[in-house]
Amino acid sequence: MNDTPVSAPRPRIVRRPVHGVLLLDKPLGLSSNDALQKAKRLFRAEKAGHTGTLDPLASGLLPLCFGAATKFSQASLEADKAYAATLRLGQTRVGGDMEGEIVRERPVAVTMAAIEAACARFTGLISQLPPMHSALKKDGKALYEYARAGIEVEREPRQVRIHAIDILGWDAAACTLQLAVRCSKGTYIRTLAEDIGEVLGCGAHLAGLRRTHSGGLDVAHAVTLDRLAELDEAGRDALLRGPDCMLADWPAVCLPMDEAGRFLTGMRRKVQTPDMPAVRVYGPNPSTFLGSAHVTAGELIPDRLLSPIEVQALLVNQKETP
């Protein structure tokens, strides 16, 4: 006779349509997808996605898109980012971060002037070789999968732009350098840390990383998973922002009621607006977000549109949010 206790089945989550953007403060030790799945379960959301991977060893801003907002997640993926980074000088590690084994140690004898010069050298348009411990894919496999198997594959250098590197602090005794970095999408901060270390002649690895901004979104307005779990469903819903928060730095075009209806069907509309590659479009009420478009030769041409049902759901959510 089998006396092994049978565990009760987990209760089935009844999913619901949820629309909007949650600014999550991702904790250390959790992958971006794990964080997404935890938030998705708490919201009981039918559809969700994140807007750019943060390594488990990194914390900070991770915008999560639910429902209709997933249509505009690419805008956040393409946006500039900002990070607070901690570099440990004098140690080079496998993978370029504190998780890897130390492969080389060198004495650290640097001046603030040398640090400033090294940071200035990597400001502007630079070329980076993607690290093997990254999610970039080659032949259908992520580079980190090759790295875990001990295989190094050829990678092509990529052009990225570092808008600014500000020195926040230098602890000579601990050999730690604190930097604030503003950069374009696709920038590898661990590669930047290693490159700065080589220019300084002592090597370095990334000892800590926190994303502080994505486009116009700020981690100061983000919520943690623990806080999210403490709230009831209405409290969680109240934290959701409209999908257009990811397009906040785009020009806005407002249409009258009849033109807004036609635009939502995918029709081009005549506008008295100069050519623009990307605009956010609203109905007669400025809060009625309709979608994204571009303007060419006096025509507003739809790119990504909300459905009428999604527009209505977002309007209802705005009315219910205090």
Q: Which residues are catalytic?
A: 55
3-state secondary structure of 80: coil
**How many CB atoms are closer than 10 A to CB 184?**
15
- For 101-130, letters b (16+ CB in 10 Å) and e give eeeeeeebebeeeebeebbeebeeebebeb
Question: Residue 82: exposed, middle, or buried by beta-carbon count in 10 A (0-12, 13-18, 19+)?
Answer: buried
CB 232 within 8 A of CB 162: no
Place of tokens 């604190």: 178
How many secondary structure helices (H) and strands (E) does the chain include? 9, 18
> Rounded CA gap, 272 and 236, in Å?
40
Instruction: Say which residues have a Cβ less than 8 Å from residue 1's Cβ, sequence separation at least 6.
Output: none
Contact between residue 149 and residue 177 where contact means Cβ atoms under 8 Å apart: no
Helix runs in the chain, H state only: 32-43, 73-78, 112-121, 143-148, 189-199, 225-230, 233-237, 257-264, 308-320
DSSP string, 280-307: EEE-SSTT-EEEEEEEETTEEEEEEE--
Cβ(296)–Cβ(275) below 8 Å: yes
What's the full length of the chain, in residues? 322
